[in-house]
Chains A and B, each alone.
Chain A
């Protein structure tokens, strides 16, 4: 598929060159790319799902390597993999012929991805055994509370995807590919509408005459606050400016045009102001599986201040920011160190960095990290497009969206 390869190459290049800004855009574009990958992938009669999964994995590996800092890309890839498994399973269980289809558990064994064996009766049986309900994306989106309410073993191991079908789905005539594309379309739509879905819940959280504090600029936060304003809530917002990029200034401008009472404070004044604040609402870069948050720099300090004064610390984020990885691994907990030019004027300090007359080694170090890690115990509530959740519940939500086999997105080596 030279065409798809070119597209993948382009997108990887864009990610490498940091031309795709923000999790939302990255997530959406990744999903669109994967849709075209899936639609152009030729499928053999046997082992359709395995071929698809392999193709997506190959693309995913490339994209994740292109910009490992942008976790949303990996999230979407894992969700698409999950979708394929789900759709495959539901068609398997519907059609029960067994031939030409593969069990997902085979994915665990490295080395047999091309010629996978026909589905064994045992695998079908195993699938049927664990079939309590189908947490396919379709049902997830339609009925969140139910999916949350019904416990299942997905977090525990590789058999999580062994689920039954939903009755209306997967007629024999329907092709796996078609289903997958449908599901990806829903995913894209889901990403598109996440802001609205989140801001619908705004009135439940923001009350009359409250004081809200936020830091930096997040589109989700902005829409959340504006939605509350549109519902005739009157409240005040403190915006910490979010040095060194000062995105808070932009947010303040946007809020004022919407008619919100806004106060700008410096980041360092957060602790002084926090006692007057009723709630802290912030955006996130990614939500990790343990409920920890990777967020714009400065938020850990805000979270600590909020904890000190027992102010609720609320994180709003679309579900594409849910990351199934744990932040214990330094490979995952990446930070993007940007140019020191944000912090100080190179020209003014150029004499401090004159290596020639100062012994050759730099004495001035400037560090400009993009992200902070906020541990889960400092977060009071997550508001995603599926509703509000406790940090300790995040792993369950993640188990619904991702299958445990996909945590490491790597093409299996043929050796």
Chain B
């Protein structure tokens, strides 16, 4: 009777709903980003310690606590390390009456979350609603209510495929950045149904203008725009989500492609809803800034019970919480004169020498810290040796690093695994040092960023990538300058200082562990102030969270046209470039594919494609040398004939035909005036080749 009772009470913690379909979760153990380079060259991001516990532990522990029974861990980069770790961890130990199983799914050619989900779809392991998280999520929220809401909605409306968890957060008014170091997100949410209607994570902050589609306002009687919501990257998905990813093979990014794609695409009518969590904690380690912030939140116990002194996480030893938030492992050798300040963690087997000063820092296991060392707001992982007189502030020091006497790390420095720094060297602020040289090219084994992947397909340094550079999507691997000329770190040192591009350097402070320098803040508050003076009404276009009634909203319409125009001009250029490659001999099928992907990424209609393509064809026709109008006409007809199959791909209805004619008219009137006399002639030809029906 005894054993049975215990076993039963273990599973009865959650209500009977679990009995029906086991709750499944997909954990992406790869961030598909390069924000944590150079560290992630040697170890996957999910295994990086966050307050001395690998990040994946937090995610798994949380999934276990919300009643998930089956977790599929998708590993890609460094999959062996992830698998080894899981095999050794407490999560895969079989004897347990907890119904919680962890299994891994491996794929080496996935370069994005979209690829990962496609692989999971092909395995067909997901049987019902599942939770989609990445392995760097830290949360203690209770999902039961969100799950229930999701299920209820699904019963009423099978098109509600996803519930996104969001959280209230105030982005800084000066830097327009959340405390996690991410850009503020603008979401349009239906005030009653909580349906997500608009999502923009790359709003143009400099102009402080957002553009809403007119139809958005026409179709929805009420819409609430928020810029104070944080996306927790915790999604409750229906199985349809996986098949959607498979159908739309160009979906890469969960938010940028999938969410926006669903919101824009009204043919299928899929809907995304939001669930706002209030008291609980949920955040994702996206960059070094959020690493720092979340570490501090954990130490301040916002993530209870996932805190170091509760042994929820497989930390292996019991850390004791002392006054002022100092966590100390059992076997710490602390010199009598050493001082450990508030909100610090000293790991097992660490020795700290005389007169050393440590404040708000996390120190890992088996570190040796010498005399007169000052460590301030830094993260020091395991087996680090710091000799006498070093000074560290706001730095991240990985496993096995050796700092010789007198080294000074300025704020924001990242030292990757096993770096050695020679005596009395000063490492300048925001440097990244690794024993591996900076890769000069994309390495397929490494994590890739979407921007890189897509620009790889387009094969042209497009405007998008330049725009993205501001947001650091392009990391150093895009640089032509290889790490060959990297500086050696001191006389007795080992490691390369990674060079950083200019544009990136400007933005480095945004995502660094170090706090934002004062000058930057002042600059920002100045510019914000100026903005307010200049365009007062712009401020009102992003209300903190106000309700917009369609007919009362007439602001920034001009801006909308401008933006739209710029976008379509970019699009046309891209299509033209693609077409030129077709001329150069690229297979037609590939061209079709590329144009389709351009259409989706620029969010254009088929008509736009047809127009742009037609423009490109006409331009190529006019580029062929001619002496008189008849010759030009003949050339044009030939070109149209040659490419009519390509063009027909996009001409599905009368709308597109009209668009082509209109485009031709525009060409004649504005761009290539040579066609003017040929207008009727070519139009006739178009009708004949049944591109235009009349």
Bound-state Cα–Cα, A355 to B377, Å: 10
Q: Does any Cβ of B come within 8 Å of A5's Cβ?
A: yes
B2 partner residues in chain A, CB cutoff 8 A: 32-33, 35-36, 39
Q: Is there a chain B Cβ closer than 8 Å to A19's Cβ?
A: yes
A51 within 8 A of B: no
Task: Check B9–A29 contact: CB distance below 8 A.
Answer: yes
The answer, among B95, B97, B279, B311, for a CB contact under 8 Å with A66, is: B311
B92 to chain A, nearest CB (A): 14
Known A-B contacts A6-B96, A356-B177, A357-B516; A347 and B65 likewise in contact (beta carbons under 8 Å): no
B-contacting residues, A326-355, CB 8 Å: 337-342, 345-347, 350-351, 353-355
Contact A6 B278 (CB under 8 A): no
- Are B292 and A355 in contact, with the CB atoms below 8 A? yes
Determine if A229 is an interface residue (Cβ-Cβ < 8 Å): no
Chain A residues whose C-beta falls within 8 Å of the C-beta of B167 in the assembled complex: 347
- For window 299-342 of chain B, which residues contact chain A by CB distance below 8 Å? 300-305, 310-312, 318, 321, 324-325, 342
A366 to B289, CA, bound (A): 22
User: Per-residue 0/1 for A345-378: is the Cβ within 8 Å of any B Cβ (1 yes, 0 no)?
Assistant: 1110011011111111110011010000000000
Contact B179 A350 (CB under 8 A): yes
B443 to chain A, nearest CB (A): 31
Q: Are B95 and A2 in contact (CB-based, < 8 A)?
A: yes
Q: Which of B7, B175, B305, B318 contacts A357 (CB 8 A)?
A: B175
Query: Known: A346-B281, A357-B516. Is A5-B175 also a contact (CB below 8 A)?
Result: no
Q: Please give, as numbers and ranges, the residues of chain B lying within 8 Å of A345 by CB-CB distance.
A: 278-279
Interface string of A129-140 (1 = CB under 8 A from B): 000000000000
The yes or no answer to B579 lying at the interface (CB within 8 A) is no
Is B54 on the interface with A (CB-CB < 8 A)? Answer: no
The answer to whether B6 and A29 have CB atoms under 8 Å apart is yes
Scoring B6, B10, B377 by chain A CB atoms within 10 A of each residue's CB, the highest score goes to B6
Cα A345 to Cα B170 in complex, Å, equals: 12
A1-52, CB < 8 A from B: 2-3, 5-7, 9-11, 13-14, 16-19, 29, 32-33, 35-36, 39
Q: How far is the CA of A11 from the CA of B10 in the complex (A)?
A: 9
**A128 on the B face (CB < 8 A):** no
Q: Are B95 and A6 in contact (CB under 8 A)?
A: yes
B-side contacts of A347, CB under 8 Å = 167-170, 278
Q: Known: A9-B95, A13-B96, A29-B6. Is A350-B312 also a contact (CB below 8 A)?
A: no
Partner pick for A341 among B5, B281, B312, CB 8 A cutoff? B281
Whether A341 lies near B343 (C-beta < 8 A) is no
Question: CB-CB < 8 A to B343: which residues of A?
Answer: 361-362
A32/B279 contact (C-beta < 8 A), A353-B179, A354-B179, A365-B325 known: no
B interface residues, how many (CB within 8 angstroms): 59
B77 to nearest A CB, angstroms?
28
A293 to B281, CA, bound (A): 33
Alpha-carbon distance A173/B311, docked complex (angstroms): 45
Chain A residues with CB under 8 Å of B17's CB are none
- Give 1 or 0 for each of B131-148: 1 = CB within 8 Å of chain A CB: 000000000100000000
**A65: Cβ under 8 A from any B Cβ:** yes
Name the B residues within 8 Å of A341 (CB-CB): 279-281, 302, 304
Q: Is B514 an interface residue (CB 8 A)?
A: yes
Chain A positions within 8 Å of B13 at CB level: 19
Question: In this assembly, does B360 line the interface, its C-beta being within 8 Å of a C-beta of chain A?
Answer: yes
A366 to B325, alpha carbons, bound, how many Å?
10
B96 touches A362 (CB 8 A): no
- Distance, CA A66 to CA B325, complexed state (A): 21
Determine whether the beta carbon of B302 is less than 8 Å from that of A340.
yes
Cα A360 to Cα B395 in complex, Å, equals: 12
By the criterion CB–CB under 8 Å, are A361 and B377 in contact?
Answer: yes
- Contact call A351/B10, Cβ cutoff below 8 A: no
Residue pair B292, A365 in contact (C-beta under 8 Å): no
CB atoms of A360 and B377 under 8 A apart: yes
Q: B360 contacts A6, CB within 8 Å?
A: no
Cβ of B190 < 8 Å from any Cβ of A?
no
For the complex, is B454 an interface residue (Cβ under 8 Å from A)? no
> What is the CB-to-nearest-CB distance from A177 to chain B, in angstroms, rounded to a whole number?
14
* CB–CB B96/A10 < 8 A: yes
Is the beta-carbon distance between A340 and B172 smaller than 8 angstroms?
Answer: no
Interface centre among B177, B279, B360 (most CB of A within 10 A): B279
Contact A358 B515 (CB under 8 A): yes
- Cβ of B304 and Cβ of A338 under 8 Å apart? yes
User: In the complex, which residues 620-676 of chain B have their Cβ closer than 8 Å to any Cβ of chain A?
Assistant: none
Whether the pair A361, B302 counts as a contact (CB closer than 8 A) is no
Interface flag for B471 (CB, 8 Å): no
Task: Give the residues in chain A near B280, CB-CB below 8 Å.
Answer: 341
CB A46 to nearest CB in B, in angstroms, measures 27
In the assembled complex, the Cα of A18 lies from the Cα of B175 at a distance in Å of: 40
Cα–Cα, bound, A338→B303 (Å): 9
With known contacts A13-B98, A32-B5, A362-B343, A356–B293 Cβ distance under 8 A: yes
| A322 vs B175: C-alpha distance when bound (angstroms) | 56
**Residue B49, interface by CB 8 Å:** no
Question: What 0/1 readout, one digit per residue, does chain B (506-519) give for beta carbons within 8 Å of chain A?
Answer: 00000000111000
Q: A350-B169, A356-B179, A357-B515 are in contact. Are A16 and B96 (CB under 8 A)?
A: no
Cβ proximity bits B1-39 to A, threshold 8 Å, 1 near / 0 not = 011011101100100000000000000000000000000
Q: Does B101 contact A (CB under 8 A)?
A: no
Given A350-B169, A362-B343: A356 in contact with B515 (beta carbons within 8 A): yes
Least CB separation from B299: chain A residue: A362
Q: Are A17 and B312 in contact (CB under 8 A)?
A: yes
Q: Are B170 and A16 in contact (CB under 8 A)?
A: no
Contacts of B325 in A (CB 8 A): 365
Contact residues in B for A13 (Cβ distance below 8 Å): 90, 96, 98
Known contacts A19-B13, A356-B179: A346-B279 contact under CB 8 Å: yes
**In the bound complex, do residue B296 and residue A356 qualify as a contact, i.e. CB atoms below 8 Å apart?**
no
CB–CB B296/A355 < 8 A: yes
Tell me which of A18, A357, A362 contacts B172 (CB under 8 A). A357
Docked CA distance A33–B97 (Å):
14
- Which residues of chain B are near A35, meaning CB under 8 Å? 2
Q: Are A33 and B301 in contact (CB under 8 A)?
A: no
CA distance A362 to B281 in the complex (A): 17
Q: Kindly identify which residue among B5, B303, B318, B514 contacts A339, using a CB–CB cutoff of 8 Å.
A: B303
Cα–Cα, bound, A9→B303 (Å): 24
Q: Complex formed: what's the CA distance from A342 to B311 in Å?
A: 21
Please give, as numbers and ranges, the residues of chain B lying within 8 Å of A358 by CB-CB distance.
515
Cα of A353 to Cα of B343 in the assembled complex, Å: 14
Chain B residues positioned under 8 Å from A361 (CB to CB)? 343, 359-360, 377
- Chain A's closest residue to B179 (CB) is A354
**Neighbouring B residues of A3 by C-beta, 8 Å:** 3
Alpha-carbon distance A112/B377, docked complex (angstroms): 50
Question: Are A339 and B301 in contact (CB-based, < 8 A)?
Answer: yes
Q: Within 8 Å of chain A (Cβ to Cβ): is B181? A: yes
- Cβ-defined partner of B321 (8 Å) among A5, A337, A354: A337
A353 proximity list for chain B (CB < 8 A): 179, 293, 296-297, 300
**A362→B377 CA distance, assembly (Å):** 10
Closest B residue to A35 using CB positions: B2
State whether B278 touches A356 (Cβ < 8 A).
no
Q: In the bound complex, how far is the Cα of B172 from the Cα of A355, in angstroms?
A: 11
A336 → chain B closest CB, angstroms: 8
Beyond A5-B95, A65-B318, A355-B296, whether A10 also contacts B6 by CB under 8 A is: yes
Roughly how many angstroms separate A342 CA and B325 CA in the complex, as a whole number? 17
Q: Roughly how many angstroms separate A41 CA and B521 CA in the complex, as a whole number?
A: 68
Q: Tell me the minimal C-beta distance from A124 to chain B in angstroms.
A: 34
Q: Which chain B residue lies CB-closest to A14?
A: B10
**Complex A-B: 20 CB contacts under 8 Å:** A6-B95, A10-B7, A13-B90, A17-B64, A17-B65, A17-B312, A32-B2, A337-B304, A337-B321, A339-B281, A340-B302, A347-B168, A353-B179, A353-B293, A356-B289, A356-B515, A357-B515, A358-B515, A361-B377, A365-B325
List 4 A-B pairs, minimum CB-CB distance, nearest first. A339-B304, A347-B168, A360-B515, A36-B2
Contacts beyond the supplied A357-B516, A359-B515: 9 A-B pairs with Cβ under 8 Å: A7-B97, A10-B97, A17-B61, A35-B2, A68-B318, A337-B321, A360-B292, A361-B377, A362-B296
